[in-house]
Amino acid sequence: MAATDPFALFDAWLQEARGSEVNDPEAMALATAAADGRSSVRAVLLKGHGPQGFVFYTNCGSRKAQEIAANPNVALLFHWKSLRRQVRIEGVAHEVDPSEADAYFATRSRESQIGAWASDQSRPLPDRALFEARYEESKRKFEGMAVPRPPYWSGYRVVPERIEFWSDRPHRLHERRLFTLTGNGWIEGLLYP
C-alpha cells in the first residue's frame, strides 16, 4: 500500500479534534518503563509536533523523566472520543535543545512559570500548605522580573518509529492504519481490528 504522510494525517485529525473535543484535544497518554521494566502511564499535553517528533514538557526530576533517562523507549496515545479515533505512537524520547525549552517556557503563564519553580514534581508532599508556601516564596523571588526557566525543567521530543491511526467502524470492524519508519522512509500497512 502506498504510504500517505503520517504527519499530514495527524495534523488533519488533530485539527478535527480541536473542533470537537470539549477539553484538551492535545492531551496524550505517555507510557514509560523503568530500567527494571516496570511501566507507568500518565496524561501530558502535546506542545509541538512535526516530522521531527512530538514534544511535551516536564520537570526533569519527575518520574517520567527519570524513567526516560533509564529507558528512552516510550509510547503515546491520543484518544479523541468525540471522533471515535485514536493515534498510537511508539518511539524514542530525547530531551529538546535548551533554547527550544527556553522559548516554550517563555510562552507559559507567569503563574505556571512560578509553579515550575515551586514544585518538586513526583516527590512526596507532606501537605498542600507547603507547596502553596513555596509558590508564594517563588512569586516574591521573581517579583518585578521575568521568570527564567528552572535548570531542572525541559522538554522531550518523541521521535516516532511507528504511528497507528485507529478509526471506529460499526460492529467492531475498525480500521487500523500502521505507518512504520524504515531506512527508506515511512511504509503504510493495515492491521486486523
- What are the catalytic residues? 172
Q: How far is CA 24 from CA 81, 96, 101, in A?
A: 12, 23, 21
Cα torsion at 5, 11, 16, 17 (round to 10°)? 120
Alpha carbon distance 22, 71 (integer Å): 34
Alpha carbon distance 128, 65 (integer Å): 23
| DSSP-derived pairing of the beta strands 175-182 and 73-80 | unpaired
